[in-house]
Amino acid sequence: MNISIIIPMEDNRVELFNNSLIQYQECDLSNVEFIFVSRNIPVLKFSDVNSKLINYTLEGDGFSQAKALNLGIKATSYDNIIVTSPEVMPKTKVIEQLMSLPRGNYICQVFAQNEKGEEYMSLVNSKFRSNTPAMHFLALFKKEDLELINGWSLDYQNGSGAYDDDDFGDRFVKAGLKFEVRDEIQAVHQYHPPNKVDKAWIKNQELFEKQRASKNYYAKRGLRES
């Protein structure tokens, strides 16, 4: 199996990704490409890693990963796509574990880390927040399934990163697509200051409530419009 890893990368996350990369390099990366998508990093290159950098602009004051993830999908060389964030650090040999599974959609168990660097809770596992693939801190998806639902919705991109993941998970399930949560494939969400709840956050919540009440699974503005 060949895998493309999409990582939206901001300049304040590079140090956290350096920690993550050390763990990725515990695996065989010969069939893996990293695709970094960034608004504010003009040059990004890591030694011994097959990678490419996609630059883009985003209007508005808030930030959502939706456009970055969609642009990453368009740039992939492979049809098996890992979606993650720079601060999500593998705890087990995630690449080798995912490659050993039948081709499919998988959500990995991810643990939260506090300011002291201590793990204190599971953010997603087979018995917690597992009804949709919204909690895709570290997840493997089939490219054709992402294309079927038109990726992530751009309607949430000015909302401080709120509810774009819930919207994605809701549409994924409504499309009849299958996924599995794998507790044994694990990563750690490294600590960083959380986003603040603001007016854009609340607006996105209202937008998602409308989506959840609908039968729609295709993003009106998503992958194809990015």
Q: Does a structural domain hold residue 223?
A: no
Query: 136 phi and psi, to 5 degrees?
Result: -90, 55
Return d(Cα 207, Cα 110) in angstroms, integer.
Answer: 27
Instruction: List, for residues 14-30, the tens digit of each pLDDT value.
Output: 999 999 999 999 999 99
Q: Does a structural domain hold residue 83?
A: yes
Average predicted confidence (pLDDT) for the chain: 93
Q: Does a structural domain hold residue 14?
A: yes
- The closest of 62, 46, 61, 60 to 7, measured between CA atoms, is 46
pLDDT of 159 higher than 70? no
Contact by Cβ (8 Å): 179, 105: yes
- Given phi > 0 = left and psi -120 to 50 = alpha, else beta, which region is 34? beta
Q: What is the CATH number of the domain that holds 195?
A: 3.90.550.10
Which residue type is seen at 173? Answer: V
Return d(Cα 83, Cα 25) in angstroms, integer.
Answer: 17
Instruction: List, for residues 165-187, the tens digit of each pLDDT value.
Output: 999 999 999 999 999 999 999 99
pLDDT band at 211 (very low <50, low <70, confident <90, very high): very high
What HEC string does 163-193 produce? CHHHHHHHHHHHCCCCCEEEEEEEEEECCCC
Which residue type is seen at 24? Answer: Y
Q: Give the pLDDT confidence score for residue 184 in this predicted structure.
A: 98
Instruction: List, for residues 41-73, the tens digit of each pLDDT value.
Output: 988 878 789 999 999 987 665 668 999 999 999
Tally of structural domains, the chain:
1
Q: Helices in the chain by DSSP H: which ranges?
A: 14-24, 66-75, 94-99, 143-148, 164-174, 199-212
Contact by Cβ (8 Å): 162, 201: yes
Q: Does a structural domain hold residue 187?
A: yes
Query: 24 phi and psi, to 5 degrees?
Result: -60, -35
Q: Give the pLDDT confidence score for residue 161 in this predicted structure.
A: 64
In the chain, pLDDT over 70 holds for what percent of residues? 94
pLDDT of 6 higher than 90? yes
Q: Give the pLDDT confidence score for residue 162 in this predicted structure.
A: 84
Give residue 50's domain range: 3-212
Q: Does a structural domain hold residue 80?
A: yes
Q: Does a structural domain hold residue 219?
A: no
Q: Does a structural domain hold residue 103?
A: yes
In the chain, pLDDT over 90 holds for what percent of residues? 80
Beta-strand pair 88-90/119-124: unpaired
Q: Give the pLDDT confidence score for residue 60 in this predicted structure.
A: 60
Q: Does a structural domain hold residue 97?
A: yes
